[in-house]
Each structure stands twice: as C-alpha cells, then as structure tokens.
Amino acid sequence: MTLAERTKEPLRRADPRLLVLVLVLWSFLLAFLETKDAALAGLLGSSLLYLLSGPKNVFWGLKNLLTINLFLVFVWLILPFSFSYPGSIVYRLGPLAVTREGLDLSILLSLKALAITLGAMAITGASSVFDLLAGARRLGAPEKLVALLLLMTRYTQVIGEQYHRLRQAMRVRGFNPKTNFHTLRSYANLAGLLLVRGIDRAERVQAAMLCRGYTGRFWIRTDFKFQPRDFLIIFLVLCLSCLVTVIDARLPS
C-alpha cells in the first residue's frame, strides 16, 4: 500500500486496541442519546468514520445495512401505534391511531440503530477480525471468549460453504420447496446433516489442534503500538463525542 493510499484511509493501519475502544465507547454513547438531533449528528459522525475506513468499504458494506433496515421495518409497524395520549394523535388509519410520541420514538431508534451499525462497519472494515479480537484480548477481554469468537469467525464460513453444497445437491436432485410435509422433512434432514457434519468437523479440528501442541490457550499478536496517526483518530472521536453530547444536552427531545 502506497503512502497516498494510507493517507486516504486513516483508520486502516490504526492500532486494533484503539479501534476496539472506539467501537465500544462510540456505540454506548449513541445508544444512550435522547434527542433526534443528537442521533442525527451521531449518524453523520458514523458516516464520517465509515468514509475514513477506506473507499472500498463505502460500496461493499452498504448491503450490510439491509439487515438493520429489516429490523426497523418492524419498529415502524409497531411503535407509531403504541401510544395514545390526549392530543398526540396526528393521523388515523382505521381503528389505529398514529401518535406523535410513537413517531418521535421510531425516528430516534432508527437514527441510533443506523448510526451504531455504520460505526461498527467502519471499525470492522478498517482491520481484520483477528486483529480486532487480539486487540480486545490485550485490553482485558476474557481469553476463552476471544478464543470462542476466533473459532466462530473461522468456522461459520466453513459451515456456510457446507450448507451451500448441500442445497446445491438438493437442487440437482430436483428438490422444489413447497408448503408441504415433504419440504419440512427435507429441511429437517438438511439441518440434521449440518449438525452431524459440524460435530465431525469439530472433532477433527480438535484432534489437529492437539497434534500441534494446543494446551487450551490461543497465542495472539502482542506487538501493537500507537502511531502518530492514532492520536489524530483519538482527537477526531473525542470531538465527535463532545459535539453529540452537547447537542443531546441542550436540545429538547
């Protein structure tokens, strides 16, 4: 990576310990916001961090927002109709009444959810999962939890590949899912095969790890050190945090 590319991606090459701290503190700050204006400012701050994580992530990671958008659909289907204070009704939809409080709460939750998701995508896209988990371990995260997340990160992809192979085999044999007992039985068999093959793979992986001298402890990177660019990231995040906190404290909800 050239010097020009590094300057365009300031979050890359940052100390993973710093990235983990930024992820945790920024997410908690956004989660406790109480005003829409502060949540909007947090969303803009997360968007800035997302842009700084690298130009490749800008287009590649947007599809990950679909998951949180599906959750927000249920929020907007429930919360606007969940309050019924006198004088708070802004629209009636048959027997249902859309209330101002419900709309405000839906907007606030949507902004905070999108802000937290974009912030998490910025941090996870700026470094590898293994470096982030190593940084979390250096910050005091439980060793067993880090080991579990490392194995889950690696073998979730393996199980996914196994699932796609089994689904392809079902399609080759003419399987056409319908609303009937045969379809339910086929999916039950698929789940059973995944479970059996997952257990078999786990036993083989454990045997391979023991053959390589595994004694219950994962050795992770320890050569992390702060660079001058890391202090710029700290300054940026502190400025964003102060701005969001001031807006949340001064503006009414």
Domain map (residue ranges) of the chain = 9-127+225-250, 139-211
Asked whether the predicted pLDDT for residue 86 surpasses 60, the reply is no
Q: Which among 117, 113, 96 has a CA at the least distance from the CA of 33?
A: 113
Asked whether the predicted pLDDT for residue 12 surpasses 80, the reply is no
List, in sequence order, every residue forming a beta bridge with 89; answer none if it has no partner: 99
pTM score: 0.73
Q: What pLDDT is attached to residue 240?
A: 86
User: DSSP readout, 188-210?
Assistant: HHHHHHHHHHHHHHHHHHHHHHH
Q: What is the mean pLDDT of residues 52-76?
A: 71
Q: Which among 112, 98, 121 has a CA at the least distance from the CA of 40?
A: 112
List, in sequence order, every residue forming a beta bridge with 92; answer none if it has no partner: 97
Instruction: Give the number of other CB atoms < 10 A from CB of residue 149.
Output: 17
Q: 145-197, pLDDT tens digit by residue?
A: 888 888 888 888 888 888 899 889 888 888 888 888 888 998 999 999 899 88
* Token code pair at residue 216: 């219950």
Confidence category of residue 19, pLDDT binned at 50, 70, 90 = confident
Q: 193-214, pLDDT tens digit by residue?
A: 899 888 888 888 888 888 888 7
Q: What percent of the chain has pLDDT over 90?
A: 2
